[in-house]
Amino acid sequence: MTPDTRADLVVSPRLTIPAGEFEWSFARGSGPGGQNVNKVNSKAVLRWRPADSPNLLPDMRHRFLLRFASRLTEAGDLLLTSDEHRDQPQNVRACLDKLREMLRAVLRPPKPRRPTRPTAGSQRRRLAGKQQRSETKKRRQSPGREE
């Protein structure tokens, strides 16, 4: 059974990545498979260039590149691998699932943080704790020291 690497990746109703943007390669996996693992190229390697994808909106592309910068190669390729299953089609699906989750994470812009102010009670408790700690440390000093 050959994996369907020609299927488009549907992330949401508004975002679909065509299969033509993906490069696939296969290698011998290190996962389960017994003696078969030495004969069959079941490990799937997905290579994708998010910076060149015309299907990502510019702000979404920017969020993706910022959030997953550590996962990109110097050339700007995203490499995803899967060798957790015994057969190639399941590993292809696992790679696509990983990418789908990564894209869903940056689909919407994050909510802007609204700065909050500490309550008066929390400020009093903080200062009281600092004062108590200061007194504890003062009591540790030798009695003749008053500066």
Domain residue ranges in the chain: 9-105
- Model confidence pLDDT, tens digit, residues 66-88: 999 999 999 999 999 998 888 88
Which carries the bigger pLDDT value, residue 143 or residue 63?
63
Asked whether the predicted pLDDT for residue 147 surpasses 60, the reply is: no
Residue 133: other Cβ atoms inside 10 A: 10
What rounded mean pLDDT belongs to the chain?
88
Paired tokens of 22: 């993906």
* CATH code for the structural domain at 9-105: 3.30.160.20
Averaged pLDDT for residues 95-108: 93
Are the C-beta atoms of 70 and 79 separated by less than 8 Å?
Answer: no
**Which pTM value belongs to this model?**
0.71
Q: pLDDT grade, residue 4 (50/70/90)?
A: low
Select from 45, 38, 23 the least CA-distant residue to 98.
Answer: 45
Contact 78, 50 (CB under 8 A): yes
